[in-house]
Amino acid sequence: MNSVRGLLYAVISSATFGLVPFFALPAIHAGVAVNTVVFYRFFLSCIAMGIVLLLKKESFSISKDEYKMLCLLSIFYAATSMLLTLSYLYIPSGMATTIHFLYPVLVTLIMILLFKERGNWIIYLATGLAVMGVGFLGNSGGSQSIDSVGLTLALITVCTYATYIVGIQKFRIRNMDGLKMTFYVLLNCALIFFINVLVQDGGFSPIPDISTAVHLVLLALVPTLVSDLTLILAVKRVGPTTTAILGALEPLTAVFMGIMFLNESCTLMQVIGIVVVLMAVTLAIVGTQQMKMKNAGS
């Protein structure tokens, strides 16, 4: 039951995270600076999570060592958010998401090489299929050249996000309540970007209209608060590798939203990508259940 919940959390996390460009790009195109957009993303989501903790009458207390670990995790997560958002300015968001999705491979390698994780052939096959499927999803049939700056930014997020996911389980705070961990990660990220806005931009960009404000609120709630909370809960229950593989639903969500709401076309390569991603997700679920049964029997 615990692993089933973990798989569900991983699916929700990846699907909602794929909505980042859908909410962020309209605000950026409306004239709100990238640094300001990212700050509001974490500031508003932190407030929302704080309200949840207050309503549940949960304690906010943590030790100094726990806070140090949370600060380190937050740096990796903040770097991922900032660099991925910046990459949208240089390369198409679908392409940036595709490059970013190399992180499941890095997560798998880190867990095998550094932590001696013993998976099974189904999990490894699912990892390969997930990356292959996302490659198909990022193929729009055009002949666009990849801007080197955007490519570099997206590639760095592979390292920062993989480290963040592994750190959730391997740092000494893995037993902390998921709601509390999410709150402090969001709080630290908000502080990081508050300083960043003041240093780089000298102040916050004005929010031009209600529509932009709505996009910023939805950016904070859906692909940030919901996505990060369910990511933490998923890693705690099914581990970094399976959670990363199920992240294949991120670009799938981006493609679906583009087709449904942005009048984007769907190519044959993208249809193939959708099928391959769904195969990878199915295999990841089967492989995870087999590993749980094997561990329970040993």
Contact 48, 221 (CB under 8 A): yes
φ/ψ region of 120 (left if φ > 0, alpha if ψ in -120 to 50, else beta) reads beta
List pLDDT tens digits, range 132-174: 887 787 665 555 556 788 889 988 999 999 999 999 988 878 7
List pLDDT tens digits, range 1-45: 667 898 899 989 988 987 888 899 899 999 999 999 999 999 999
DSSP-derived 3-state class of residue 120: coil
Contact 80, 164 (CB under 8 A): yes
Predicted local distance difference test score (pLDDT) of residue 295: 63
Predicted local distance difference test score (pLDDT) of residue 175: 81
pTM: 0.84
187-213 average pLDDT score: 96
Of 30-34, 38-42, 101-105, 262-266, the one with minimum mean pLDDT is 262-266
Whether the pLDDT of residue 63 is over 60: the answer is yes
Residue that wins the pLDDT comparison between 62 and 173: 62
Tokens of 9: 């959390």
DSSP class of residue 145 equals P
On the CB side of 73, how many CA atoms lie within 13 Å of its CA? 26
Residue that wins the pLDDT comparison between 265 and 66: 66
Q: What is the mean pLDDT of the chain?
A: 86
Whether the pLDDT of residue 54 is over 70: the answer is yes
List pLDDT tens digits, range 215-240: 999 999 999 999 999 999 999 888 88
First to last CA, the chain: 18
Whether the pLDDT of residue 81 is over 80: the answer is yes
